[in-house]
Amino acid sequence: MSFFHRRNENQSNARIHNGAQLITVMHPKSPISEQFRTLRTNINFMAIDHPIKTLALTSANASEGKSTVTDNLAIVWAQTGQKVLLVDADLRRSTLHRTFNLDNREGLTTILTSRAHTIDLNTIIQPSGIDNLSLLPSGPTPPNPAELLSSQRMKDFLKAARERYDMVIVDVPPMLVVTDTQVISRDLDAVVLVVKQGQTQKLGAKRAVELLKMAHANLLGYVMNDVVSDGSAGYGYGYGYGNDGDDE
């Protein structure tokens, strides 16, 4: 399709080539995997009054661990036996196809740009190799991601996906860099902010919270993604819920 342009600057980052680390698959009994299960439980607790079927994790800036947290959360969710669809809606720095070694010639952008009246999602959604977890890669990088994500077609897709799956978890871009997440977050049941300890500036996190509120997103709280600096353990996650972005 000639109207899709691949953006060279997106290819420069090594982690985009490598994808996210699936620690919940590699080390399911590790404390980190247990923390992802706790995160899942906490989100479930917050869904009592308003069921959460579509969820995204975002962050203030790039490279704060969104894809890592999103993918591992989707895996532990699928492990409960619920049918989960993991969608790569980070159309600028997509990683899902690399993480799970998928063909990315067709994906979300195929659905959003198709002129067909109906489109069979089964032909585009791919199995993950993990029970109950299905995957929708980004598809080719479009020139107009925010426009596609705010389209009626995106709303229709989310509606169809939530009818078919128990949980739809969406990987999205950071808040302060592009407007994509703002435009999609109002159509999702809930959003969680990923904060990387030592990296996310307090002002940045506060601004991200403001932007989510302006978009009328249902912000559940934040996940602290903490890289251990001595290099021995590698990971650590913590959580917080409430209005921490309001603090001065």
Ligand X SMILES: Nc1ncnc2c1ncn2[C@@H]1O[C@H](COP(=O)(O)OP(=O)(O)OP(=O)(O)O)[C@@H](O)[C@H]1O
Q: Phi and psi for 58 in degrees, rounded to 5? A: -130, -175
Please, which residue, 33 or 67, has the CB nearer to ligand X? 67
Q: Give residues 52-91 in contact with Mg ion (rule: CB under 5 A).
A: 66-67
Listed ranges 41-49, 66-74, 100-108, 123-131: which one lies at the site for ligand X (CB under 6 A): 66-74
Closest to Mg ion by CB, 7 or 216: 7
Pairing assessment for the beta strands 219-225 and 190-196 based on DSSP bridges: parallel
Q: Contacts from 123-132 at CB under 8 Å and sequence distance 24+?
A: 125/85, 126/100, 126/102, 128/78, 128/86, 128/100, 129/100, 130/25, 130/75, 130/78, 130/79, 131/78, 131/79, 132/78, 132/79, 132/81, 132/82, 132/83, 132/84
Binding flag, residue 139, ligand X (CB under 6 A)? no
Per the document, the length of the chain is 248
Q: How far is the CB of 146 from ligand X (least distance, A)?
A: 16
Q: Could you tell me how many helices (H) and strands (E) the chain has, helices first?
A: 10, 8
Distances (CA, A) of 238 to 32, 108, 135, 224, 233: 10, 31, 26, 5, 15
Considering only residues 8 to 37 of the shown chain, the ones binding ligand X according to CB under 6 A are: 15, 20-21
**200 touches ligand X (CB under 6 A):** no
Part of the chain binding ligand X (CB under 6 A), chosen from 140-148, 180-188, 227-235, 238-246: 227-235
Using CB under 6 A, which of the segments 43-51, 58-66, 135-143, 216-224 binds ligand X?
58-66
Q: Which position's Cβ is nearest Mg ion? A: 67
Question: 174 contacts which partner out of Mg ion, ligand X, none, CB within 5 to 8 A by kind?
Answer: ligand X
The footprint of Mg ion (CB under 5 A) covers 66-67
The footprint of ligand X (CB under 6 A) covers 15, 20-21, 59, 62-68, 90, 93, 95, 174, 225-227, 234-235
